[in-house]
Structure 1
C-alpha cells in the first residue's frame, strides 16, 4: 500500500513537471513581415534565408530556427541587412585527420540533429524569437528551394 501510494505520488509529480516544460505555444501573429522564405544548398550544407520586410528590432529579436531536423542561430546577412540567415551543416565535409592534433584544429564539428518543439513538414520551419523578455515560436510555411 505504501509503495503504491509513493509510486502514484511520483507519477503525479513527474506529470506536473512534464506539462510545465511543454507549455510552448506557436504564435499566430508573425513577429515581423516576411517575404518568401527560401533555402539553397552550399558547399557546407543548407543555407536558410529569411527576408524581412518590416521588423521592430527594438521589440523583436530573431534568435534561431528549426529546419530539416536541425537548429541553427539566425544572423543578419552582411550583404543585405533585411535578410536573416541560418546555416545548417549536412553531409560529410573533408576533415583533416593527422597524428598531430594541431593539424586537425580547423575541422568543424558535425551539426547534431535537434528535434523541433513542434511537428513540421519539409517546407516548414519554426522561428525562435524573443519578445517582451520571453521566448516565442512562429511557424514559417511554404519554404522553397532556390538555386544560386
Structure 2
C-alpha cells in the first residue's frame, strides 16, 4: 500500500509479537518499534511502498475492516495512550463484536505500561493481560 504522507497514523508490524504498533502525529515518543512517528513517516510516505508499514486515519483503527486479512484489531498491541483514549469506546465495541472480548483497549499496551521500546517488555505485558495476538497464526512476512 502506498501513502502520500498526509496520514494521521502509521502502523507497523512488531515482529516479536506478530502484532501491530500504531503511532500518531501528536505522539513525540519512541514506539516499541524503536522509531518515532517522523522516522516511520519517512519510510511510509511519498508514495513509496514499505512492507510492514501503512499510513491511515485515526478512526479507521476501530473499524471492522482494519487489517481484516491479518486478523483485525486483535493484532493491535500498542498505541499512544492519548490515541487509545480517543478511540477506546469504538475499539472496545469492535473487539466485542469480532472476538467476544470485553475492554479490549485495556489489553493494548501504551507508553504508561510499556515505555522502554523493549520487545520483551511488550511481550510480558501482552502475556499478563492475555492478549489475543498471542494465539493468532503468525503473519506471513
TM-score by length of 2: 0.25
* Structure having the larger proportion of residues in strand: 1
Q: Which one has the largest radius of gyration?
A: 1
TM-score by length of 1: 0.24
